[in-house]
């Protein structure tokens, strides 16, 4: 016998995965809200082992995808920061270990023969 709440949660997890994979991140807060409500309803229900395992597998898969998104965003921020720092100047280290920034000059024109 299938529990309609468990089926609704599994369907929601499929939609969430599809949304994550397609890059539709605007819908994620609504999915979180719905997952919370459905999980509260399921907390008082005894689920069969296969359904419980299926829910746990889908939850883990989606959480891994969300963590990968966060890692990707952090990586992109790091790259953008590095690009921004290069524009302001070159960062070097002196022999004594102190950091030194060599400013870039944009007012010069390089001419090649």
**In contact, 55 and 10? CB cutoff 8 Å:** yes
Mean pLDDT within 62-67 = 96
Share of the chain above pLDDT 70, in %: 92
SS3 37: helix
Does any domain span residue 108?
A: no
Asked whether residue 20 is assigned to any structural domain, the reply reads: yes
pLDDT in tens, 54-64: 999 999 999 99
Which domain, by its residues, includes 69? Answer: 4-103
29 has pLDDT over 70: yes
User: What CA–CA distances, in Å, run from 57 to 9, 72, 78?
Assistant: 12, 23, 32
* Strand runs labelled E in 25-106: 89-93, 99-103
- pTM exceeding the 0.85 threshold for the entire prediction: no
Residue 110 belongs to some domain of the structure: no
Backbone angles phi, psi at 16, to 5 degrees: -65, -45
Residue 18: strand, helix, or coil: helix
- Determine, yes or no, domain membership for 57: yes
Is residue 96 a part of any domain in this protein? yes
The number of domains in the chain is: 1
Residue 109, in any domain of the structure: no
Q: How far apart are CA 91 and CA 84, in angstroms?
A: 12
Residue 113 forms part of a structural domain: no
């Amino acid at each position: 016998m299938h529990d309609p709440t468990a089926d609704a949660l599994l369907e929601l997890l499929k939609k969430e995965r599809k949304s994550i994979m397609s890059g539709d991140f605007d819908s994620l807060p609504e999915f979180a809200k719905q997952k919370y409500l459905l999980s509260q309803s399921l907390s008082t229900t005894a689920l069969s082992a296969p359904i419980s395992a299926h829910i746990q597998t889908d939850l883990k898969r989606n959480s891994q995808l969300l963590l990968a998104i966060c890692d990707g965003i952090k990586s992109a921020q790091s790259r953008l920061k590095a690009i921004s720092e290069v524009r302001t100047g070159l960062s070097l280290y002196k022999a004594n270990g102190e950091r030194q920034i060599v400013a870039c000059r944009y007012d010069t024109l390089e001419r090649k023969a």
